[in-house]
Amino acid sequence: MERLYKAKNRLGLVFFPAFDWAISPTHPEREERLLYTQDQILEEGLKDIEGIEEYRAYLAPDNEVERVHICVPDVRSRVTEAHLVAAGGAIVAGRKVLEGEVDKAFALVRPPGHHAFRIVHGARGFCTINNEAIMIEHLRRHYKIKKVAIVDTDCHHGDGTQDIYWHDKDTLYISIHQDGRTLYPGTGFLEEFGGPNAYGYNLNLPLPPETGEEGFLYALENFVLPVLEDFKPDLIVNSAGQDNHYSDPITNMRFSAQGYARLNDRLNPHIAVLEGGYSIEGALPYVNVGIILALAGLDYSFVREPDYSPEKVSQSPRITDYIARLCEETLQAWQKREELRARHFQGKDRVTRRRRIYYDTEGLMEYQQETTLICEECAGLSWIDSHTDRGSHILAIFIPRDACARCQKEGHALFEQTETTFYRDGIYLQDRVEDVLLKK
Amino acid sequence: MLIGLDMGDTHTDAVLIEGGKVIRHRKSLTDREDPLETIRKALEELLSSCPAEEIQRINLSTTLCTNAVATGQVSPVGLLLEPGPGLNPGLFACGQKNFFLQGYVDHRGKSVFPPNRGEIEEADRELQRAGIKHLAIVGKFSPRNPEHELFIRQCLSPHYEFITLGHRVSGKLNFPRRIYTAYLNSAVYSTYSVFAQAMERFIEEKGWKGPVYVLKADGGTLSLSPSRSLPVETILSGPSASIMGALALTPVVDDALILDIGGTTTDVAFLAEGIPLLEPQGITLGGYPTLVRALLSYPLPIGGDSQIKIEGNRLLIGPLRLGPCRALGGPCPTPTDALIYLNRLELGDKAEAKKAIQELAHHLGLSPEKTATTILREMASFIAEKAWRLLEKINSRPVYTIKELLLPRILKPKKVIAIGGPAFYLQRELEEALGLPVEVPSLAPVANAIGAALSQPTAELTLLADTALGVLTVPEEGLKEKIPSSFTLEQAKERALSLLRQRLSRLAPQSQGAELEVVEAQSFNMVEGFYTIGRNIRVKVQVKPKITPLRGESNGKAI
């Protein structure tokens, strides 16, 4: 007589609520954030379900962070232990899947990470380091995986993840978010289509405010899933932000716990990592239970917010039409990515872009000038001249994971030849082939 | 004089302790058909010629409820559940009749949706028609607010013999376990109640003065008459009695490993600075995971009477026990035969033990001597390997604060206490396999009864205060009271301790000396928009676990 309920998919949970860490006492990213989620998980008895296993998070060592980020001046000056545990928690989740201990994993960790860029001068959008990217690069280093798809379902555009994988066509980044004209960070449009060597591998779907359950699921079925079918990733990661929920205090969308569960059921990711979501009482407890059940392959049809009503997740016919057109247009762009790449970059040997990056948490402005070599062999050498309005100035050189001999050689030459006098805070070389970060 | 009795499946052990020493101990066979008679006989023989007024306390550990569940001798139970949203509640419908009622209390204890009187009255009629006399009423998040469960009971007709309310069984959150715990409590109520009454009558007839306590799975006790409303607390108290006994015989202040080596199984338990570890959630009985607080005790399928067979050219010990050892006429060789062969133990027909070992030796192509020592070594290394794996699991349990992650409390046993029949004879092999000193106290075979005799009352209590709602809840006491918005964590701790003191004096009237402690205390700022609206305070208090160690070696005699 076995009373325990058995999961169809073995699911690993890494739950790290950091009950002793907050950005500030009343900040949305505070101790209380996952308190009610923990209550709900405990009360539902999810950890008693056979096949659901909880694992302890650990502190990611600095070199795991440096594989993805250049923190100025160094890792320890920019991050707290909480950030390292959140990244470490994601790594544990990913390892459990690739070790075959579980079929899927969900890292319920905080603080989030998808607004963290390659260069880190501080915190932005509650994020300092990018948990998913640190996890993915760890997994790439230790296991045989090549193609990874990140589907970011946070309501905010994951501009940090976009930046990190901008030049990497082995990592497809798809973000579904509230239109940047109406929400932080203000980016995430179709034109942001990837760097010259990975053009088309960065896909943004900016949904209009008041998008309902129907709209999200339409985008999933008619845009995300067809693209994934084309791309054929070895690994699918869901950046599982939960702020599209109808009760979220800082966004304007109309998604529900049922919707999130269905999305994960259909998307069927290997790993989900919690991102944002600040309706900590009305949404997170139910959304997280829904995602856990869906990932474990269990019945989630009884998961529902106590105040749920169909009106709360409905959308206007105008929005329905708009989303259908948006999906169609983006899908077409994906399908024509090679043609578009040729049109944009033929005959060029390098591309330069300038941008300003605002760190809202500390009110800091960064100015970047990025140059990337166009390369048919690899993701291409890139270097960024970065200075801030606080007077910090660095040069960051990036030799990609799969760098060809030329890009590798040129990267090192640039590092050797550039004079430090001009860059008061140093010259950094992130050499992904050698897996080291050099600084002078 | 303190009396301890542990009724196990096979044996019933009883001890009499005076002045910190075991004066008498007695082992008899358990009559599973008549547990009451087994206890009566054991006590009568143990206490013959003892002056009745000198008995200070009688502590009993029984398998009554455990066996009632195992053999299905339980009352039909009607389940009234208020599941709200979440997991499919049909999964937990373990009653003879199950009702899924409207209404919902959320994680903060807010009544989001009220229960429906008409629906409850309809269920009531159906339960009446079915002749069901025992109910369990369980709502989701009822420890956060017991009002819905109370309302449901109030809507029912008064014809039921016994009703368990979910919030009374534990302050812990876990709806499925709460359902199973409440269900079991109602299911064994009648059986237990009859036993408790008969026990009370028997003690009274004998004129014994000491109060009677029953053992719980958490290594503590509960006074006999209040135990009638919480019979589920008395399940699986045997392994805990043994752990407490080991502690009484060998007081420890360090981390340690306890092995209780029996005939069929070896139970593994751990001490953290001398205090036994608890099951994180609660004990599992008959496939039902519960919220019953219990000492962590992990059974390994190996013991003195485990079947030994050869597969290929490998020795396999366990997991089955087919009977006693060959020396005692059993069907197959066991580790006990190896002990007899090596002259460590005198028992039964030595020639038969020798024959058993020689047969195995022949198959393995080893000398009988080597075969016997290999058996013991394999047994010890099996135990060691499993114990360390268990320890690793305990040490890698998830933690939820950065402080705990940076400064983890790592359990590192410095010694081993081994009890149970074969423990003494295996000491050498265990030390070798575990790489730690192994102590086998001299009264190891009756450690369980000694543990029973010396265990003290335990109780715990959970307090939740929500200063934004202005409410304080103590589920185990069914208490809900108003608090001011200025209520602090310190006040919450004080209130919890004073309520626990009251609870303890009700559950165990002679326990004034007990020490209480705060085991968990958290306070979270609750923020709405960007303003702090109050604090969510969570406090857990308990009676500090303790056992009176025996004074020196015993001069007691077996009877």
Q: What is the mean pLDDT of residues A218-246?
A: 97
SS (H, E, C) A144-188: CCCCEEEEECCCCCCHHHHHHCCCCCCEEEEEEEECCCCCCCCCC
In a domain? residue B554: no
Tell me whether residue B484 is exposed, middle or buried, using C-beta atoms within 10 angstroms of its C-beta: 0 to 12, 13 to 18, 19 or more: exposed
- Sorted by sequence, the CB contacts under 8 Å of residue B299 that are 6+ apart come out as B239, B265, B266, B267, B268
**CA-to-CA distance for A125 and A112, rounded, in angstroms?**
9
Residue carrying the six token digits 């004089």: B1
Provide CB contacts within 8 A for A352, sequence distance 6+: A369, A370, A371, A372
Residues B371 and B478 in one domain: no
Query: Which among B452, B487, B454, B457 is positioned nearest to B473, based on CA atoms?
Result: B487
Could you give the C-alpha distances from A319 to A52, A157, A187, A316, A333, in angstroms and in order? 39, 19, 20, 5, 21
| Same domain assignment for residues B136 and B89 | yes
Written as six digits, the tokens of A301 are 């049809």
Check residue B52 and give its pLDDT: 82
Chain centroid to Cα A121, Å, comes to 19
User: A287-309, pLDDT tens digit by residue?
Assistant: 999 999 999 999 999 999 999 99
**How confident is the model over B87-136, as pLDDT tens digits?**
999 999 999 999 999 999 999 999 999 999 999 999 999 999 999 999 99
| Cα angle A103-A107-A111, degrees, rounded to a multiple of 5 | 165
What is the distance, to the nearest Å, from the Cα of residue A83 to the centroid of all Cα atoms in its chain?
A: 15
Alpha carbon distance A46, B174 (integer Å): 9
Pair B200, B212: CB distance under 8 Å = yes
Select from B475, B511, B510 the least CA-distant residue to B496: B475
Q: Which of A378, A375, A377, A373 is nearest to A414 (CA)?
A: A373
The shortest CB-CB distance from B289 to any of A4, A15, A31 is to: A4
Contacts of A93 in chain B (CB under 8 A): none
Q: How far apart are CA B283 and CA B246, in angstroms?
A: 20
Tell whether A363 lies on the interface with B, counting CB pairs under 8 A.
no
Quote the CA–CA distance of A247 and A241 in Å, as a whole number.
Answer: 14
B547 pLDDT exceeds 90?
A: no
Residue B525 domain flag: yes
- Shortest Cα distance from B393 to chain A (angstroms)? 10
Confidence of residue B27 (pLDDT cuts 50, 70, 90): confident
Q: At B9, is the pLDDT very low, low, confident or very high (cuts 50, 70, 90)?
A: confident
User: Reduced to 3 states, what is the DSSP secondary structure of residue B460?
Assistant: strand
Are B260 and B196 contained in the same domain? Answer: no
Q: Which of B88, B281, B467, B522 to mutate to test the interface with A (most CBs of A within 10 A)?
A: B88
Of B463, B452, B459, give the one whose Cα is nearest residue B506: B459
Indicate the residue of A2, A249, A301 with minimum beta-carbon distance to B287.
Answer: A2
Return the residue matching tokens 């004998």: B206
| pLDDT beyond 70 at A2 | no
In chain A, what is the straight-line distance between the N-terminal and C-terminal CA atoms, in Å?
Answer: 66
Q: Tell whether B531 is covered by a domain.
A: yes
Q: Which of B171-180, B209-218, B305-314 holds the top average pLDDT?
A: B171-180
Measured CA to CA in angstroms, residue A203 lies from A174, A200, A207, B278, B280 at distances of 5, 7, 13, 51, 45
Structure tokens at B77: 């139970």
A84 by Cβ neighbours in 10 Å (0-12 / 13-18 / 19+) ranks as buried
Mean pLDDT of B300-306: 94
> Of B255, B211, B217, B219, which is closest to residue B234 (Cα–Cα)?
B217
For chain A, give the longest Cα–Cα distance: 75
How far apart, in whole angstroms, are the C-alpha atoms of residue A185 and residue A182? 9
- DSSP letter for each residue of A265-323: HHH--SEEEE-----TTTTHHHHHHHHHHHHTT---TT---TT--GGGG---HHHHHHH
Q: Is residue B556 part of a domain?
A: no
Quick one: pLDDT at residue B559?
A: 56
Same domain, yes or no: B159 and B226: no
Interface touch A43/B141, C-beta < 8 Å: yes
**Average pLDDT for A394-405:** 97
Neighbours of B281 (CB within 10 A): 21
Contact B398 A57 (CB under 8 A): yes
Asked if B107's CB is within 8 angstroms of A36's CB, the reply is yes
Structure token pair of residue B86:
């979440």
Q: How many domains is chain B partitioned into structurally?
A: 4
The alpha-carbon gap from A42 to the nearest alpha carbon of chain B, in Å, equals: 5
Asked if A42 lies within 8 A of B94 by C-beta distance, the reply is no
Q: For residue B143, what are the domain limits?
A: 85-185
Residue with tokens 């030994």: B308
Assess A184–B contact: CB distance below 8 Å, yes or no.
no
Is the previous residue joined to A185 through a cis bond, with omega within 30 degrees of 0?
Answer: yes
* A61 shares contact with chain B (CB less than 8 Å): no
Domain check: are B120 and B199 in the same one? Answer: no
Instruction: Check the CA dihedral B134-B139-B143-B144 and report its sign.
Output: negative
Counting residues of chain B whose pLDDT is more than 90, the rounded percentage is 76
Cβ of A44 within 8 Å of Cβ of B398? The answer is no
The answer to whether B289 contacts A303, with C-beta atoms less than 8 Å apart, is no
For residue A340, what pLDDT is reported? 97
Give B319-378 as a DSSP string. S---SS-GGGT-SS--HHHHHHHTTS---S-HHHHHHHHHHHHHHHTS-HHHHHHHHHHH
Report the share of chain B in percent with pLDDT over 70: 99
The catalytic residue among A115, A156, A270, A387 is: A115
Residue-by-residue DSSP string for A74-119: -HHHH--HHHHHHHHHHHHHHHHHHTTS-SEEEEEESS--TT--SE
Question: Looking at residue B553, what is its pLDDT?
Answer: 52
Residues B162 and B271 in one domain: no
Looking at residue B555, its pLDDT comes to 46
Q: Decide if A306 touches B, using CB distance below 8 A.
A: yes
Question: What are the tens digits of pLDDT across the range A332-351?
Answer: 999 999 999 999 999 999 99
Residue B484 domain-assigned (yes or no)? yes
CB environment B316-354: b (16+ within 10 A), e (fewer)? ebbeebeebbbbbebebbbbbbbbbbbebbeebeeebbb
| Residue matched to tokens 């928690």 | A89
Report the distance separating Cα B523 and Cα B141, nearest Å: 19
Place of tokens 């006492």: A25
Check if the beta carbon of residue B59 is closer than 8 Å to that of residue B221. yes
Q: Which residue of B has its CA nearest to A31?
A: B524
Quick one: which H or E segment has residue A341? Answer: helix A337-345
Instruction: List the single best residue of B81, B91, B393 to mutate versus A (max A Cβ within 10 A).
Output: B91
* Pair B390, B415 in one domain: yes
pLDDT at A228 over 90: yes
Exposed e or buried b per residue across B58-83, where buried means at least 16 C-beta atoms within 10 angstroms of its C-beta: bbbbbbbbbbbbeeeebbebbbbbbb
Task: Supply the Cα-derived Rg of chain A in whole angstroms.
Answer: 21
pLDDT at position B557 over 80: no
Please write the tens of the pLDDT for every residue from A122-159. 999 999 999 999 999 999 999 999 999 999 999 999 99
| Residue B479 forms part of a structural domain | yes
Residues whose CB is less than 8 angstroms from the CB of residue B417 and which lie 6 or more positions away in sequence, other chains included: B246, B247, B249, B250, B252, B256, B257, B258, B259, B438, B439, B440, B441
Q: Confirm if A64 and A91 have CB atoms less than 8 A apart.
A: yes
Distance from C-alpha of A169 to C-alpha of B336, rounded to nearest angstrom: 66
Q: Is the pLDDT confidence value at B153 over 70?
A: yes
The answer to whether position B449 is within a domain reads no
The rounded distance, in Å, linking the Cα atoms of A83 and A67 is 15
Q: Which residues of A touch B400 (CB under 8 A)?
A: 15-19, 38
Banded model confidence at residue A49, pLDDT cuts 50, 70, 90: very high
User: Is residue A387 annotated as part of the catalytic site, yes or no?
Assistant: no
B7 and B43 together in one domain = yes
Cα distances from A35 to residues A20, A107, A279, B110, B525, in angstroms, run: 11, 15, 12, 16, 11
Alpha helices in B27-95 (DSSP H): 35-47, 64-70
Asked if the model's pLDDT at residue A1 lies above 50, the reply is no
The CATH number corresponding to A6-338 among 3.40.50.1980, 3.30.2320.30, 3.40.50.970, 3.40.800.20 equals 3.40.800.20
- Euclidean distance between CA atoms B358 and B364, whole angstroms: 10
Instruction: Report yes or no on whether pTM surpasses 0.90.
Output: yes
Alpha-carbon distance A60 to nearest alpha carbon in chain B (angstroms): 12
Longest dimension (CA), chain B: 83
pLDDT over threshold 60, residue A355: yes
Give the gap in angstroms from C-alpha A91 to the nearest C-alpha of chain B.
15
Task: Based on the fold, state whether residues B521 and B539 are members of the same structural domain.
Answer: yes
* B443 vs A54, more confident: A54
- Given a cut of 80, is residue B334 above it in pLDDT? yes
Mutation pick from B173, B283, B462, B520 vs chain A, by most beta carbons of A within 10 Å, is B173
Q: Judge: B398–A55 Cβ closer than 8 Å, yes or no.
A: yes
φ, ψ of residue A138 to 5 degrees: the values are: -65, -45
Name residue A130's amino acid.
N
Residue whose C-alpha is closest to residue B504's, from B468, B442, B457, B550: B457
Q: What number of H helices and E strands is found in chain B?
A: 16, 28
| Residues B552, B268, B328: CA angle, nearest 5 degrees | 80
A301: contact with B, CB 8 A cutoff? yes
Calculate Rg over the CA atoms of chain B: 26
Domain ranges within chain A, ordered by starting residue: 6-338, 347-439
